[in-house]
């Protein structure tokens, strides 16, 4: 990846940082469009694996951004993507927290907070669609997803068991 492309990655992720209401995962569809579809810096499989690995790992879910940058350009790409997604939103969050500390009872502040809920939900649904789309033609994956959703919502089963079962099923189906 050239220096110009690294700056493009950094700049685009800076813009996405300001749209990532609900976390970086909410702008994953746009990240996918930019790094996979538009620039072909990484493959669809690398993108999905970056998110899957980061979600399965302990720590903040924003780690997938670092993995996307790593897959695109190694250490320099990881740094560009991570700083790009973290810096603007972090500075905005600090400023907003200071500003709303004494204004939290204002109707405008309360309306803004309530208005962000449907936006966040919509962005998360778009992310789910991007991640699920490659498996839509595979009945085993659809069944596994539906079974996992039911088990998570209706039982107290530890999700780690479902991740383990999904991985084992993936190995069996891939053969």
Q: Could you write out the three-class secondary structure of 117-155? A: HHHHHHHHHHHHHHHHHHHCCCHHHHHHHHHHHHHHHHC
Q: Taking residues 70-88, report their average pLDDT.
A: 97
pTM, two decimal places: 0.69
129 touches 51 (CB < 8 A): no
Q: pLDDT grade, residue 16 (50/70/90)?
A: very high
pLDDT digits (tens, 9 = 90+) for 93-110: 899 889 888 888 899 988
pLDDT digits (tens, 9 = 90+) for 126-153: 888 887 887 788 888 788 888 998 999 9
Buried b (16+ CB within 10 A) or exposed e, 18-42: eebebbbbbbbbbbbebbbeeeebb
Which has the minimum average pLDDT: 13-17, 63-67, 104-108? 104-108
Sign of CA dihedral 116, 121, 127, 130: negative
Residue 33, pLDDT score: 96
């Amino acid at each position: 990846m050239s220096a110009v492309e690294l700056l493009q990655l950094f700049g685009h992720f800076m813009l996405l940082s300001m749209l990532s209401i609900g976390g970086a995962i909410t702008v994953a569809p746009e990240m996918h469009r930019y790094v996979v579809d538009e620039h072909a810096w990484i493959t669809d499989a690398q993108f999905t694996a970056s998110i899957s690995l980061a979600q399965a790992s302990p720590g903040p879910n924003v780690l997938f951004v670092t993995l996307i940058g790593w897959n695109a350009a190694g250490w320099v790409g990881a740094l560009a993507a991570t700083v790009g997604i973290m810096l603007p939103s972090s500075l905005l969050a600090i400023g907003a927290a200071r500003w709303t500390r004494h204004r939290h009872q204002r109707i405008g502040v309360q309306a803004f907070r309530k208005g962000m809920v449907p936006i966040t939900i919509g962005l998360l649904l778009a992310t789910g669609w991007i991640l699920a789309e490659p498996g839509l033609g595979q009945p085993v994956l659809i069944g596994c997803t539906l079974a996992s959703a039911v088990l998570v919502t209706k039982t107290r089963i530890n999700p780690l068991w479902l991740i383990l079962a999904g991985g084992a099923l993936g190995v069996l189906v891939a053969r």
